[in-house]
Chain A
């Protein structure tokens, strides 16, 4: 890790809907304090929040790690959970495996992963069924 890199990691507990969104909120504040543009911060915050909600809704637990360099903001989310059997299907707008309880909270419309793609410059998702999912998303600073 170079001196120019900032790293902060967050633990995310599955099914903890009370605290869901706290990590993303802290990421947003952290980027604001770094003086990055509000448009860039908003894109990162929305992508992080979508990923955090996915972890809370579907996984047993996960970690979300923020990396900031002069060129990029990267968020790496790794969870232990059911995994995604068909990533191409999960990327389709409107496709969802959400339960009615998740929808009552206002989530699970099948827009999470597509919206992450929309708000990031790079997005890499890998998953293993019954093990978990890894999502790395990057927004370029310049």
Chain B
């Protein structure tokens, strides 16, 4: 599965930040020294091959895949952050690599579908209602 959501379809007031992304997916920051940095769009995929084709500089990657190549792909493609979805455990070596490569990483219990949908709403200017969130 792969899909992207670009900023600007319905412009939202102010830039979307890493803090907005974390909040939208009810995520936990595993490494994020500055959550005020801008995010320009989102790519959701488990295939890094697709990310390397679809993602643009500044996008956040939402993925259910957890391995070091996710971090390397994000760094190579100048991505703003990685959101590991599906509540998967993220080993310490992956967080360490993210820190070394300056890739902010978050963990979310949302499914890939839910996380991508919530982030789509952020970029489309729609409301994100935590009260409507299904607790996983």
Contact = CB atoms under 8 A, between A and B. Distances in A.
Interface of A: 17-18, 20-21, 24-25, 28, 38-39, 42, 45-46, 49-50, 53, 103, 105-112, 115, 118
- Residue from the set A18, A20, A25, A46 with the largest chain B CB neighbour count within 10 Å: A46
Contact of A49 (B57, B68, B70, B76): B76
Contacts of A110: 49
A21 B100 CA distance: 14
A137 B75 CA distance: 21
Given A25-B101, A111-B52, A106 B57 contact: no
Contact of B69 (A20, A42, A115): A20
B77 to A, nearest CB: 6
Contact of B78 (A42, A106, A115): A42
Tell me what chain B mostly uses at the interface: helix, strand, loop, or mixed. helix
Task: Give the interface size bracket for B toward A.
Answer: 20 to 34
Contact of B76 (A25, A105, A107): A25
A106 B76 contact: no
Contacts of A107: 47-49, 69
Interface string B92-107: 0000000001000000
Contacts of B73: 21, 49, 106
A38 B76 CA distance: 11
A38 B52 contact: no
A38 B78 contact: yes
B69 A21 contact: yes
